[in-house]
Structure 1
Amino acid sequence: MSQDALKVAAAERALTYVEPGMRVGLGTGSTAAKFVDALGKKVATGLDVLCVATSEATQSQAEKLGIRMSTLDETPFLDLTVDGADELDGELRLIKGGGGALLREKIVATASGRMIVIADASKKVDLLGAFPLPLEVVPFGLTATRNMITALAADVGCEGDIKVRMLGGGKPFLTDSGNLILDCHFGRIEEPEDLDEALKLIPGVVENGLFIGIADLAVLAGADGVTLLGAENGAEPTSE
């Protein structure tokens, strides 16, 4: 199967957890977009759900599909969020933010009773960090913020290049909230919890892409089918 087909398989399996009347958070990124497409088809056949998007791009996609949308101000408690991940380990610790929506994704996920992660099986790793860790930072004092990130990350064993995410034409990428993204090329994150706590000490860091203790279930699609990985005590995956 192609990677695109694997994303569709994971999205369609996650859709089975959506029940009529649910309030659902919709993630951002290529895999999450497959879930929104699948949900849109269900809505077209009569499924009644109320959804909150994690980005302007997802909002636009969902509206075009006729999905009934709300905001966290109007609907502050959600039943379920379905989103992708750039990396995840066996304890369902995630790196997210490749699409630049990590702040809103974390806000929506933590407002939900449950979070389901959907991905192709290649996203599961033994150790986080090969995918650069995104940090959403305010533009003011960028050099000072980056220096502090470098120092505190080194204290917990993480070192590597920290680069401002750029668009074509030499312009920096801006999040939906008007902030910058720093991509931290650490390679290995031996203690994700320690790094998460260190980054929270830096005023210029709005949020980081480590999602720890947030996801409840991962739906991973691979060549051998769909695997479910639960968060409880690093539960062993089951295949279907």
Structure 2
Amino acid sequence: MNAAEQVGSKRNAGYRAADMVEDGMIVGLGTGSTVFFAMERLGERIAGEGLSIAGIPTSYQAALRARQYGIPITSLDEHPEIDIAIDGADQVDPDLNLIKGRGAALLREKCVCDATRRMLIVVDQTKMVDTLSAPVPVEVLPFASASVSRRLTLLDGRPVLREGIKKDGPVITDNGNFILDCDFGAIADPRHLEAEVASIPGALECGLFTAYGEKIVVIVGEEKGCRIVSLR
């Protein structure tokens, strides 16, 4: 898949997800290029159809983009139950386990995923894999980054502190924390690994999403449309 085909596939997935949003819904808004196509389409529907929704963005970047497209913003405090959420993924396996967090918004994304009734994951075909193997982002308390790194190494991971681009030093999340990208190789048991990482003091959240398969609908963008993957 060349770059132009990938962009087209992402647009197809994002637009399809946006067209599944109904009037009056509270919508979780993830972070990433494919989700931004969904926001673009939601903006078109708001302007052209009078669609009435409110979005809960998972990052400052998502909030800025939502405002650009005219999507009204609300919060998880005001709406602790969400009708539908749209987000991307770094990898998706056949059981709909995910690796997320390339945009460093995994902690808020998991909060939204947990709160939503239905989770639309928008990806292109390259994100669908037989076995999860991408580096797993871990959001860590800066105070504990060294001790968390040591514990991740004991789990046979290879953690690397994510460095900023056009900025000296580490990436700082919207929550004021660091990101460790941890390579575990092929992950045979994602659910067990997620639980192991969650047990480490100072590891606030990891990019493995293994508890939400029943509410996840994966929209896989293709060159000429989309295909839908779910466990139901």
Same fold (TM over 0.5): yes
Asked whether 1:217 is paired with 2:188, we answer no
Separation in structure 2 between the aligned mates of residue 223 and residue 73 of structure 1, nearest angstrom: 39
Match of 2:109 in 1: 105
Asked whether 1:51 is paired with 2:55, we answer yes
**Superposition TM-score, scaled by structure 2 size:** 0.93
Q: Which runs of 5+ in 1 are unaligned?
A: 233-240
Separation in structure 2 between the aligned mates of residue 141 and residue 204 of structure 1, nearest angstrom: 5
Letter in 1 for 2:61: A
- Secondary structure of the corresponding residue to residue 70 of structure 1: coil
Match of 1:166 in 2: 163
Match of 1:127 in 2: 131
CA shift digits 1:119-172 (9 cap, x unpaired) = 00110000001x211000010022111111221x23xxxx4x210000135310
Q: Which runs of 5+ in 2 are unaligned?
A: none
- Secondary structure of the corresponding residue to residue 21 of structure 2: coil
Q: Is the 8 A contact 2:142 2:177 kept in 1?
A: yes
Letter in 1 for 2:14: A
Q: Is the 8 A contact 1:26 1:81 kept in 2?
A: yes
Q: Is the 8 A contact 1:50 1:68 kept in 2?
A: yes
1:10-25 alignment, distance < 5 Å:
10-25=13-28
- Secondary structure of the corresponding residue to residue 172 of structure 2: coil
Q: Among the aligned pairs, what percent are the same residue?
A: 39
User: What RMSD over aligned residues (CA atoms) do the two structures have, in Å?
Assistant: 1.3
Q: Is the 8 A contact 2:18 2:39 kept in 1?
A: no
1:116-155 alignment, distance < 5 Å:
116-129=120-133, 131-151=134-154, 153-154=155-156
- Secondary structure of the corresponding residue to residue 100 of structure 1: coil
Match of 1:236 in 2: none
- Secondary structure of the corresponding residue to residue 143 of structure 2: coil
CA shift digits 1:19-76 (9 cap, x unpaired) = 0001100010111111111111111121101110010111111112211110011111
Structure 1 runs (4+) deviating above 3 angstroms are none
Letter in 2 for 1:121: Q
Q: Is the 8 A contact 1:92 1:213 kept in 2?
A: no
Separation in structure 1 between the aligned mates of residue 230 and residue 224 of structure 2, nearest angstrom: 18
